Structure 1
């Protein structure tokens, strides 16, 4: 069995900054209302005048990660692409990135696990490397939320939360024992699937049906979230996933050097930080300036923390996420 370790990181966010005050132009809200409930001050939304989309943002982040890993596009053996907002219903973003980067005809796998998508994608890539099948895998989390949000007072409970962006990691084979990904832990609870979802267009509620109804009150094609219900489950499952990862490696919460939680809500991250007794320098949050970028949030935050020098050699880094599905999980890394 080989080990897998992160050898390159990169992220990309659109240049267009949308502040809480900007949102007041088309919905009844305020900076105070949004910050109190989410901790978000601003987010990045794709400017329709640019050529940014889910796949192109992923490709931009990937180029940075590949270069930082000291590799070329031809060294990548496989792509794992996590998103809930692909450019088209099918095919997925993985093959689009393969084309954009002019890579050889390597395999590309799309992961649809929403907020925990990057955790799942890392776990999949880790297994491919540990079994010896691949040597270098490009793992991407990317989202274009702004194109599908209901930008009105009716949709503000969801719309104020989400932002656009992408992050990428190169996972490479290593024979160094005790370093790299130590373990990953994945869970789901589908009985709560409808508490955080987008109902259509999908095969269960397809485009002709929606058009035929011509119902302006129909919200099925906008994201829906039962906020309080999700919050209550998130704080429990976040904690369980972190504890599970620590126990699997005979570690304690005091051993954590850096926790990168999914940037769903600053209040959730602060609750988890307090529960585990972690100081501010051991948790990295950036939801304040990027909002919730779903499958991209963990990898953007991880890259940013690394760029800021918050993660050093031999540090114990824990990634954790919870979201739609419900799905949740953690990845424990010895840097």
Structure 2
């Protein structure tokens, strides 16, 4: 179920802005795999649209790979083959079942009325203008490539042809700086998410715990509680819808839901600089020295998990 929005920032923008400071990567509003291309994979080239990652082709798979046959690949396609292609796996990088922006508070709710029909749960309250919430059933596992220099050089060589392929051949309304190379991701099994816009007061959301649920998400019962804001907005989603919540995870339940994304992007600037950030903005801020001519490409990185950021030549 989803709330409605009028005259407000998009839910996916609020959600990303509020959870980026947690430094797990770029928070995806659309965590579920694409119906045509499957789940997000290392080496995917694509772009963001309304909180979803949109796949174009995979740079680490051959041109005749089934995923690449859907849309094709650029004319001068060359696979990305790093010297050490083995990805790094970090299980359980997220173990808590809820991640909240700093301005979202939680409190337990009590069951009232008939126990069979009303269950206890957790009430989340946004105390400032905007906030975000992510609730998980299982831990989040991270996978990433630890070869940033090779990725940056590869993109510098091939980004112009990627853009020509996406914009001219496929007709995608996109700018060159929007294209990204997926270098890592964090995935889980079942999730619930919410974006809050409180306006002049507080907005609230209640997650109801079912009788057999270990956490407030597992029953799938989400309801909008009484709100004290003058123009409140809470937009919420949960998924995937085909996974029936149970007390213990089913054996065939896959960690294929991408909740955080790590990537490399590039844009043309007069001064060459590389920007590294644990979970920085997915676009560099505009500045007077931005050009679209023959100025060098610079990398905008959303990769590291250690929370350190540096700017240098």
Q: Same fold (TM over 0.5)?
A: no
Where on the TM-score scale, by shorter chain, does this alignment land: which range? Answer: under 0.3
Higher strand residue share: 2
TM-score normalised to structure 2 length: 0.23
Higher helix residue share: 1
Rg comparison, structure with higher value = 2
